[in-house]
Amino acid sequence: MIKGIANQHHLGWMSCFCDHCHKSSYWYHERMVIPSHSTAPVAHEDFPDGPKADYDEAREIAGLSPKAAAALLRLCLQKLMVELGEKGKNINDDIQSLVKKGVPEFVQQALDFCRVVGNNAVHPGEIVIDDTPEIALALFEMLNVIVEHRIAMPKRIREQYNELPEAARRAIEKRDAKPVE
């Protein structure tokens, strides 16, 4: 329950105190700005820290400026490419490299969606992010799909595989070893 709005109605700003959580909220012209009330999904638990900072910042501003959030998420994608073993200089080249390495088509499409939409946030083109915040929200989803498929799934499988008895792992390695010429 929010305890009465403080009389700090100075230049459109107000603050409230919540009896339940014992925290304050801040409003500007009847719109809550702190804490953020973002509807964007939280970052995947295995999101790498470097790009995650940009993801979280984009999440905080997505409701106020979908275009700014999309631009931050493009930067996030660029940093994520480095985490995926790519150069991080040119996203298109990095995607091409991942495709050559056998990334599934749906991951390639998620990567390209983020690249094109994020790029149009920085360099306006055919996609108008201002008018469709749903596109910016889709970027959050796509980035989480990429992290799930390229980071989280391999991590979970590796952890389970490492639980196999050592003798079984050695036998698998022997089976899969390339013959010596």
pLDDT in tens, 134-170: 888 899 999 999 999 999 999 999 999 999 999 999 9
110: nearest Cα among 140, 68, 75, 76 = 140
Per-residue pLDDT tens digits for 22-73: 888 877 777 666 766 678 899 999 999 999 999 999 998 888 888 889 889 9
User: If we measure between CA atoms, which residue out of 13, 21, 61 comes closest to residue 37?
Assistant: 61
The model carries a pTM of: 0.73
Report the distance separating Cα 148 and Cα 48, nearest Å: 11
Report d(CA 64, CA 147) in Å as an integer: 25
Q: Are residues 41 and 141 in contact, defined by beta-carbon separation less than 8 angstroms?
A: yes
Q: What is the Cα–Cα distance from 52 to 35, expressed in whole angstroms?
A: 19
